Amino acid sequence: MRLLGLDPGLRVTGWGIVDADGNRLRHVADGIVRVPADGPLADRLAALYEALERVIGAHAPDEAAVEETFVNRNAAATLKLGQARGVVLLAPARRGLPVAEYAANVVKQSLVGVGHADKQQVMMMVRTLLPGCLAASPDAADALAVAICHAHHRTTRSLWAKAAAS
């Protein structure tokens, strides 16, 4: 199962691809989408969408997972981040991929064991769980962490769905 993890941002969006076979994880690729900080918001969002389309097309994931946005004190910045997150949710959904969402604390808890772990701890655990992975940036490492979190949680979700159906 090929999983795409996404860490949304309006200027920098991290992405990571992981192959999951049961409990075994393998790093496939990671990177960032950098969108110019200037220009109309609609153009920036379109550029983000197009870049994510290329990533999805190049790596053909089976499922995607996106980190939820946290609300900060700056309402305007939070609103813009929410719009970028909408694009990040839309790109895999338009390709017919199931998209899961995880709170940042859940992602960190799943990898590090602490919901308020810092970026260095997350990056260290990503590199530990995915030997040979160097992660292009902290944003890419966060995206890989989302993919790893999804790999861990998707099995449980599947079992719950089967139990509910019977």
67 catalytically annotated: yes
Active site annotation includes 7: yes
Contact 122, 142 (CB under 8 A): yes
Instruction: Say which amino acid occupies 38.
Output: D
Give the CA angle between residues 151, 119, 146 to the nearest 5°: 20
* 139 in active site: yes
Select which of 7, 30, 63, 142 is catalytic: 7
**Please, which residues have CB within 8 angstroms of residue 58's CB and are 6 or more apart in sequence?**
none
From the list 53, 67, 101, 118, the catalytic residue is 67
Q: Kindly name the residue from 19, 63, 68, 139 that is annotated as catalytic.
A: 139
Catalytic residues: 7, 67, 139
